[in-house]
A and B are shown apart, each in its own frame.
Chain A
Amino acid sequence: MKQAGSSDIFSIKYRLERLKRDSNKWSIFTLAIILFIALPVISIGVKLFAGPGETWGHIVDHLLPDYIGNSLFLVVVCSILVLIMGVSTAWLVARFEFPMREQMEWLLILPLAIPSYIVAYAYAGLFDYGGSMDLIFRWFGWDFIRIDIMNKTGLAFVLSISLFPYVYVSSRAFFLNQANNLLEASKMLGVGEVRSFFKLMLPLARPAIIAGLILVLMEVLNDYGAAQYFGVNTFTTGIFRAWFSLEEPETAVYLSALLIVIVFALILIEKWQRRNIKVSNSKSNITYIHRKKGSAWMQFFILLAVLIPVILGFFIPLVQLGYWAILTAHNVFNMDFLMLSLQSFGIAFITALITVIVATLLIYFSKWSFLGFIKSIARLGILGYAIPGAVIAIGIMIPTLAFDKWLINTLDYLFSIKTGLLINGTLVALVYAYCVRFLAVAFNPIESTSLKVNNTIPDSSKMLGVGNLKTFFKIEFPLIKTGIFSALILVFIDVLKELPLTLILKPFHVNTLAVKAYEYASDEMVMEAAIPSLFIIFTAALPVIFLNRLLIKK
């Protein structure tokens, strides 16, 4: 017995010593950043100890089965649709030469520029009574045809066509950079195109594809606007119901905790599934893929296949919005609008920059730290993406308000200075919240490009006595630049579209295009929402085209 006890003590002592030996300033920096990001999540987590509200039983009895059923349905159907559209288009664009291929490369990202709730409104309007499709059917004399899109399946369709570019972007990056050597090898071994795609490329691209898919699923689980409008009860609509209609924030927190558990489970299942697969990339000669040029017919079919998702996810909503914009321009468009767009643009840009810096720091600090567990903890930083925007807003308000109040009292007590709230109701709180929410969006592209960087060059640089930071700027930064720029642009677009969190945290004087569009839409003036939506689309589309230029130049 004694023996066992002493060995226990020994092992704790040993562990502590090891911890001391392996931890460095980078571990501390990493922990600091994670704490900064996790603070809102922790604030909400603490509330869990208060227990759910009295209607929890009511929710479990009457609503929960529906929430779980619908959310799972959306997860499954969206996964299938998004994988089919995202991976196939990425492969076709990366592997084959066809007319307009270069344009298609960036056109395929554009559906991301339209907020999914706007896509939902546009499609509902399209198939509505008196909507464009309805008028077309009437014109043909097919009065009997009425397509009802406002249901579960319609919602899955709308979310998929507006979110598939996440999978497209991440898998295309892999195909472009990694596929060439592998393809040449498989060709030499006499394996055909189709077989090498399914047997070789797909399994190898899996981490990249999954990274994109997880972003999609988090967005799907997080969607409020579209689900609410289509009358589909999901976890997120449930959170709002518990919080506001049933007046029980504690119950809402329970529901969101459950949602976070589900998302975490998804991530863990995926990790566990590929626990034994070690993808070792040949990094020595990264060559760009050689594109295949098929017959004219084949080229035509490829173009068609690639066009379909773009038409569904971008052009159809765009045309519908354009039509509405023409009808309502006289009411909506004025000088204030341009100012509003500039403001939106500025906020999104600042936030994107800050978020990308935080994400890069997090990835590299955890890399430079020798502690094994730091890396897994670093992934906690991306949890914010799974939490509904409104819940994050509250999570931000709890600690920042406490800090503000403390500051107000201290200043008053020590120096008799009277101030108002310094963080809340200012851009600081808003940008902080965006950063927490969208860190995952920046984290994934930067991490995946950084994993591809061969460690030998930075390692030898460090062996020659060059510090971590200098090595990063001289060697690693140029290599992961594309990842960083993709991250910048993705965060930028997401911030432009973000709604619930902005509504709660935005300061006086500040307004965004998304808020403006929502104001109209929630007043049942969906048509008037078209112009702000179009502005979001154009402001978001420009950097997408810029990103692609950058990639091509390289």
Chain B
Amino acid sequence: MKKLLFALTILLTVVSCKESDKKETTGEQEKNMVVNVYTHRHYEADQQLFKMFEDQTGIKVNVINSNADELIQKMSMEGKQSPADVLITVDAGRLTRAKEQNLLQAVNSEILDNAIPSHLKDMDNQWFGLTKRARIIAYAKDRVKPEELSTYEDLASDKWRKKLLIRSSSNIYNQSLLASIIVHNGEAEAKKWAEGIVKNMARSPKGSDRDQVKAVVAGEGDLAIVNSYYIGQMLNSSDPEEVETAGKIGLFFPNQDGRGTHMNVSGAGVAKYAPNKENAVKFIEFLVSEEAQKIFAHSNYEYPVISSIDPAGLLMEWGDFKEDSLLLSKLGENNKKAVLIFDEASWK
């Protein structure tokens, strides 16, 4: 019995601590010194940036970290009562979906208008790109010559039979890539492409982008389609084996003679019912400031969206390339079509 009482006391203390925590938040909210962020990004760089923003403005950043799909679902269920001020995702497709579900609002900000190129944001200013990532080809230096590579379309041709590594179609970056192909080449061609890729797969899709790179080095295939910053992260990994592995592959930016390499953004929008709208706008403006963009580029190897700073360090070494300037909202509009085509092509 004594033990039970003891446990109950602890329980009550813990619960009362939580209660006081909660009161603190409401207090903060009254003073409007908070911004509530729903984000799919959970990099160390982001935490560093949130801290910087808090120090500079005194506005506290509250974070809920989850999958963007779940965050969107949560926001739509919470409706008018949603505490969310800002939604951050790692792709344009989900931002478009949030916009279609009426969860975002238009923002008039000169800073954002001037800083971000128009194809990297929403037409109605409901969301804004924060960082860019390129979906590129990683090839085995000892088996593939860069001259043999050209376009995404070429990867579906017979010469790469059983040579290609790419992850599952449930991955949003693959969905966006196929969506871009639907927009550029039409649905029928896109389906043919997906079927060609499935035929060329060296193995059934599994694992992460990093795993595809490792499989190339292990000799399971010759090429992998991956996002650029993963290579950067591998080259700076804590595991010496991973650094060595990443050193053995070459990078190729496809479609340079045509539309350019497929780009996606990680972006943010202000929630429709944001209780702290002003802070939300300030927060997004901060994220496209030069100092913030530098941190994105330096510690996470993503390309900055603003043109006033250069992609630093490693990104510099990879050199300039032509980017696909497709309106990113198109990716969201064609996302579902892309998933259906993947299933029809049996791309797992």
Contacts and interface: CB of A to CB of B under 8 A. Distances in A.
Task: Answer whether A and B are interacting partners.
Answer: yes
Contacts of B218: 129, 134, 146
Interface in B251-279: none
Interface string A300-332: 000000000000000000000000100110010
A503 B71 CA distance: 9
B48 interface: no
Contact of B206 (A59, A230, A522): A230
B68 to A, nearest CB: 9
Contacts of B242: 130
A129 B213 CA distance: 10
Contacts of A228: 168, 170
B22 A524 contact: no
Interface stretch (B103-111, B312-320, B337-345): B337-345
A287 to B, nearest CB: 27
B83 A129 contact: no
Given A231-B204, A401-B77, A503-B70, A129 B217 contact: yes
Interface stretch (B10-18, B124-132, B290-298): B10-18
A421 B205 CA distance: 42
Could you say which of B79, B83, B206, B233 has the most chain A C-beta atoms within 10 Å of its C-beta? B206
B85 to A, nearest CB: 11
B22 to A, nearest CB: 7
Q: By DSSP majority rule, is chain A's interface helix, strand, loop, or mixed?
A: helix
B307 interface: no
B81 interface: yes
Contacts of A346: 14
B246 to A, nearest CB: 10
Contacts of B343: 58-59, 62-63
Given A245-B339, A503-B67, A135 B81 contact: no
Interface stretch (B36-44, B280-288, B322-330): B36-44
A297 interface: no
B175 A231 contact: no
A408 B241 CA distance: 56
B207 A124 contact: yes
Contacts of A405: 79, 81
A495 to B, nearest CB: 14
Interface string A322-363: 001001100100000000000000100110010000000000
Contacts of A394: 73, 77
Nearest to B7: A353
A518 to B, nearest CB: 9
Contacts of A135: 241
Nearest to A243: B69
Interface stretch (A14-22, A173-181, A422-430, A432-440): A422-430
B170 A420 contact: no
Given A244-B69, A503-B65, A527-B239, A231 B78 contact: no
Interface in A424-461: 424-427
Contact of A328 (B18, B74, B207, B238): B238
B107 to A, nearest CB: 23
A128 B70 CA distance: 31
A453 B8 CA distance: 27
Contacts of B204: 151, 231
A346 B10 CA distance: 9
Interface stretch (A26-34, A110-118, A372-380, A504-512): A504-512
A519 B81 contact: no
Nearest to B82: A421
A245 B344 contact: no
A367 interface: no
A404 interface: yes
Nearest to A129: B218
B154 interface: no
Contacts of A503: 65-67, 70
Contact of A421 (B10, B78, B340): B78
B185 interface: no
A130 B247 CA distance: 13
Interface in B31-70: 36, 42-44, 62-67, 69-70
A519 B25 contact: no
Contacts, number: 153
Given A129-B215, A237-B170, A350-B15, A327 B65 contact: no
A408 B81 contact: yes
Given A128-B211, A233-B348, A353-B7, A424 B78 contact: yes
Interface in B186-245: 204-211, 214-215, 217-218, 230, 233, 237-239, 241-242, 244-245
A249 interface: yes
Given A243-B69, A327-B239, A523 B43 contact: yes
A247 B348 contact: no
A519 B65 contact: yes
B348 A231 contact: yes
Contact of B65 (A233, A324, A515): A515
Contact of B44 (A124, A331, A397): A331
Interface in A33-74: 55, 58-59, 62-63, 66
B141 interface: no
A26 to B, nearest CB: 23
Nearest to A473: B1
Contacts of B10: 349
A420 to B, nearest CB: 6
B102 interface: no
Contact of B241 (A130, A230, A232): A130
Interface string A390-432: 1001100110010011001000000000001100111100000
A390 B15 CA distance: 25
A150 B207 contact: yes
Contacts of A408: 81
A406 to B, nearest CB: 12
Interface string B76-107: 01110101000000000000010000000000
A503 B343 CA distance: 28
Interface in A98-146: 124, 128-131, 134-135, 146
Contacts of B157: none
A128 B245 CA distance: 11
B170 A240 contact: yes
Contacts of A504: 66, 70, 73-74
Nearest to B101: A247
B9 interface: no
A328 B233 CA distance: 13
Could you say which of A62, A146, A245, A327 has the most chain B C-beta atoms within 10 Å of its C-beta? A245
A246 B238 contact: no
A247 B230 CA distance: 27
A535 interface: no
Contact of B64 (A66, A398, A506, A524): A506
Contact of A62 (B168, B215, B233, B344): B344
Given A231-B207, A397-B74, A520-B42, 13 more contacts: A129-B215, A146-B218, A231-B348, A240-B69, A241-B170, A245-B339, A246-B340, A249-B73, A349-B11, A394-B77, A503-B65, A519-B42, A528-B238
10 interchain residue pairs of minimum CB distance: A231-B206, A129-B218, A244-B69, A130-B241, A519-B42, A508-B62, A62-B343, A503-B66, A327-B238, A129-B214
7 contacts: A55-B340, A240-B170, A349-B10, A394-B73, A405-B79, A421-B78, A509-B62
Interface of B: 7, 10-11, 14-15, 18, 21-22, 25-26, 29, 36, 42-44, 62-67, 69-70, 73-74, 77-79, 81, 83, 97, 167-168, 170, 175, 204-211, 214-215, 217-218, 230, 233, 237-239, 241-242, 244-245, 335-336, 339-340, 343-344, 346, 348
Interface of A: 55, 58-59, 62-63, 66, 124, 128-131, 134-135, 146, 150-151, 228-233, 237, 240-241, 243-247, 249, 324, 327-328, 331, 346, 349-350, 353, 390, 393-394, 397-398, 401, 404-405, 408, 420-421, 424-427, 500, 503-504, 506-509, 515, 519-520, 522-525, 527-528
